Structure 1
Amino acid sequence: MRRKHMKCLAGITVSTATALGLAAVPSAATGHGDHVVRPGESIQSAVDAAHPGDTIVILPGTYHESVLVTKPGLTLQGMGRRTVITPAAADGKKAANACAAGGNGICVIGAKGRTVDGVTIRALTVSGFSKSGVWASWTDELAVRKVTARSNGTWGIAQERSTRADFRRNTATGNGDAGIFIANSVSEEGGATDTGGTVVLDNSVSGNRIGVTARRVRNLVIDGNTLTGNCSGVFVVGDESKPAAGAMTVSGNRIVKNNKFCPATPRLSAIQGSGIVLTGSERTVVRSNVIRDNVGSTPLSGGILLFKSFVGALNTDNTISENLVRGNQPADLANRDTSGKGNTFVSNTCGTSVPAGMCAG
């Protein structure tokens, strides 16, 4: 069966993938096995049959299931936006796996001391799940690329307790909370997780509550993303725990018209018209972003804001420099955490600031 799948894959690599404008998927020459899933077949069955390092190629079609990955080195390779994963029909039966039981589309799940490493999810759509499109916990070097996560109840693409992820060239739209969500843990309190250099690069994020949330984490890069039509573009969240959140870079993003209104929650005030918000962060660099026309009247509205966290943690030693910040209301730059220490605003092109005098022009 595996040999037959390899032969099928060779034809797909040459013809189907070329026709769809995708890079060729790995062939038998890699030394790993390859599995092809067709409409009406089960992606989970292919994952269960795979060995570490194998590739599962998912042909165009709609697949009604949740997929749980617990093996290292697997690749789930779709064929672009025509490969769609949606929830299975509710029939009163027990959920097929833990991923489905949690309301998620694709899950990569390890355990403390036993991470699932080197998994890649590429070129497919996950849509309509009650929790997350893609959910990862206890992973290392997870890559999510060219994935569309849309209309999921909480997060589009999310990870906790994980390191060295690469989220690149994805589209996250219309999700209930964050389009892309990076956290230390969603189930317990604690100091910020060092992500080991997780990167969030060149994604298109729109129509969510928050575009990108970095919650109680350190050591990551959020760069080159386009964020529009959310309630807030980028939200860095810290608290009083140690180590503190921060030591990250938010650079080169285009953050425009995030003017959707989101009502208050038990943990957060109403949000509208927020570009970049730092709460309880330390040593974060916000540099060379274009932030325009984010307009609202909530306490978190404006272009770039420093705001004391909702448990009282202060911002310290953050640097906001060389950003183009225009047309945001009530202000382009706002330091609303005046008790914070060592925060600097340098060479930002803007029109208005609170307090006044922080704009270079």
Structure 2
Amino acid sequence: MTKRQIVCLTCIAVVVVSGLGAAAPSSGAAWHAVHPGESIQEAVDAAKPGDTIVISPGTYRESVLVTKANLTLRGTGARTVLMPAPATTKAANACATAGNGICVLGTATQSVDRVTIRGLTLTGFKKNAIWATNTDRLTVKRVTAEKNGVWGIAQQMSTRGVFRDNTVRDNGDAGIFIANTVDREGGAIDTEGALVADNILTGNRIGVTVRRVRDLTVRTNRISENCGGIFVVGDESKPAAGAMTLRENRIFKNNKFCPGNSRLPAIQGAGIVLTGAEATIVRHNHIVDNVGSSPLSGGILLFQSFVGAQNTSNVIKENLVQRNKTADLINRGTGTGNTFVGNRCQASEPAGMC
């Protein structure tokens, strides 16, 4: 029996004992067990595509870099915790150096595909809990990302990501952040159907930010007690941001106050904000009790971007939008083709949209 087979059999036993209920891996794949005091990174480095790294309950003080396709990192939820390495520890990899918890990093010429991160808690990282770039079909599920300096779960230059059933709270910026790029300008990328669904997002600056991307769905999330709920952000670049669907989200009491910066004014009481977006459908959302006095306060806002790009051809329909201030529906700027129909609301700017 080879060492790889021994590891596989040992880890299957660990999974059964721990009650994860996971199916056996496909032929040729292996399980790699990691216990407290052992290194997750060493298990990742030893793994081959198709393998699963099973992380036992405990606290792990490290950052993990994934550059291989088709790996699964699986923990036991709240009992499997990743935290930054002690300040006196030399950074072990580029992910740690950047201040992130788990990084999935491809390149412009070779994406990292089909990585799954599931059942982990990541807390206290200087930058992001999970950071991904140049990936395809990344899945992040049942992860708790809390009290991280910038984003909870974030990706750029990636396609077909799935972010589902996560709890993302008390992070410095967006809970979930999807972008074309974060370090330079450019037209929106097609995410080819990325999905942000069934997450709980609370206590962040913004619950979900999607910036300069297209072809994405944000649905059935519970978003509360942030400064803002969902932001769709575009600019004058082409292709424009948009061609996405925001539906069936519960967005309420996002009344935390966040000061402004060079790109946006102060944020408080913002439900859904579209800036510089086109052809986006906002429907069947429940948006109530978002209250503030910021230029971005209100239930559903169409607001020109910080460079003056307008919203065009967006459809706002059949939403329940009530008790939001400064108004339930707000259409600012000079964009054309935006439609408001069938919404249940009490006050609008300009008047007459309810």
The TM tier, using the shorter chain, reads over 0.9
Of 241, 262, 268, which residue of structure 1 is paired with 2:264? Answer: 268
Aligned to 2:42: 45
Aligned to 1:4: 6
Q: Tell me how far apart the structure 2 counterparts of residues 177 and 123 of structure 1 sit (CA, whole Å).
A: 22
Aligned to 1:68: 65
Aligned to 2:113: 117
Of 306, 322, 325, which residue of structure 2 is paired with 1:326? Answer: 322
Encode CA deviations 1:273-318: one digit per residue, 9 max, x unaligned. Answer: 0000000000000000000000000000000000011101000000
1:16 aligns with 2:18: yes
Which one-letter code corresponds to 2:53 in the other structure?
I
Aligned to 2:213: 217
1:282 aligns with 2:273: no
What pairs up with 1:99-178 in 2 under 5 angstroms?
A: 99-178=95-174
Once the two structures are TM-superposed, the CA of residue 5 in structure 1 deviates from its matched residue by: 2.3
Once the two structures are TM-superposed, the CA of residue 31 in structure 1 deviates from its matched residue by: 2.8
Of 287, 290, 295, which residue of structure 2 is paired with 1:291? Answer: 287
- Tell me the TM-score normalized by structure 2: 0.98
Aligned to 1:347: 342
- Structure 1: any 5+ residue segments left out of the alignment? none
Of 74, 77, 86, which residue of structure 2 is paired with 1:77? Answer: 74
- Tell me the TM-score normalized by structure 1: 0.96
Q: Tell me how far apart the structure 1 counterparts of residues 95 and 204 of structure 2 sit (CA, whole Å).
A: 22
Q: Tell me how far apart the structure 2 counterparts of residues 213 and 28 of structure 1 sit (CA, whole Å).
A: 35
Of 22, 31, 36, which residue of structure 2 is paired with 1:34? Answer: 31
Q: Tell me how far apart the structure 2 counterparts of residues 65 and 90 of structure 1 sit (CA, whole Å).
A: 11
Once the two structures are TM-superposed, the CA of residue 9 in structure 1 deviates from its matched residue by: 2.3
Q: Tell me how far apart the structure 2 counterparts of residues 324 and 58 of structure 1 sit (CA, whole Å).
A: 42
Q: Tell me how far apart the structure 2 counterparts of residues 251 and 230 of structure 1 sit (CA, whole Å).
A: 19
Secondary structure at the counterpart of residue 14 of structure 2: helix
Encode CA deviations 1:79-117: one digit per residue, 9 max, x unaligned. Answer: 111000000001163x11010011000000000020000
Of 15, 20, 25, which residue of structure 1 is paired with 2:22? Answer: 25
Q: Tell me how far apart the structure 1 counterparts of residues 107 and 348 of structure 2 sit (CA, whole Å).
A: 46
Secondary structure at the counterpart of residue 81 of structure 1: helix
Once the two structures are TM-superposed, the CA of residue 26 in structure 1 deviates from its matched residue by: 4.0
Contact 1:9/1:27 (CA < 8 Å) preserved in 2?
no
Aligned to 1:96: 92
Encode CA deviations 1:210-261: one digit per residue, 9 max, x unaligned. Answer: 0000001100000000000000000000000000000000000000000000
Secondary structure at the counterpart of residue 96 of structure 2: helix
Aligned to 2:177: 181
- Structure 2: any 5+ residue segments left out of the alignment? none
Contact 2:14/2:33 (CA < 8 Å) preserved in 1?
no
Q: Tell me how far apart the structure 1 counterparts of residues 237 and 172 of structure 2 sit (CA, whole Å).
A: 27
Contact 1:25/1:77 (CA < 8 Å) preserved in 2?
no
Compute the RMSD of aligned alpha carbons.
1.0
Secondary structure at the counterpart of residue 175 of structure 1: coil
Q: How many residues align?
A: 352
Encode CA deviations 1:328-354: one digit per residue, 9 max, x unaligned. Answer: 0110000012x1000000000001101
Q: Tell me how far apart the structure 1 counterparts of residues 13 and 262 of structure 2 sit (CA, whole Å).
A: 54
Secondary structure at the counterpart of residue 152 of structure 2: strand
Which one-letter code corresponds to 1:135 in the other structure?
W
Once the two structures are TM-superposed, the CA of residue 10 in structure 1 deviates from its matched residue by: 2.4
1:250 aligns with 2:252: no
Secondary structure at the counterpart of residue 5 of structure 2: helix
Q: Tell me how far apart the structure 1 counterparts of residues 60 and 34 of structure 2 sit (CA, whole Å).
A: 10
